[in-house]
Structure 1
Amino acid sequence: MALMPKRVKYRKSQKGRVKGNATRGNYVAFGEYGLQTLDPGRISAQTIEAGRVVASQAVKGGGKLYIRIFPHKSVTAIPAETRMGKGKGEVEFWAAVVKPGTILYEISGLSEDAARAAFNRVAHKMPVTCRFVTRRPTV
Structure 2
Amino acid sequence: MRTGIFVGSFNPFTVGHDDIARRALALCDRLVIGVTADNVRKPDLKPAEERIRAIRELYADEPRIEVKPFSGLAVTFAKAENAHFIVKGVRNTSDFEYEREQAFANRFLSGIETILLFADPQFSTISSTMIREMEHFGADISKFIPHKKP
Q: Sort the TM-score into its range (normalised by shorter chain).
A: under 0.3
TM-score normalised by length of structure 2: 0.25
Given the two structures, how large is their TM-score scaled by the length of structure 1? 0.26
Q: Higher relative contact order at CA 8 Å, sep ≥6: structure 1 or structure 2?
A: 1
Greater fraction strand = 1
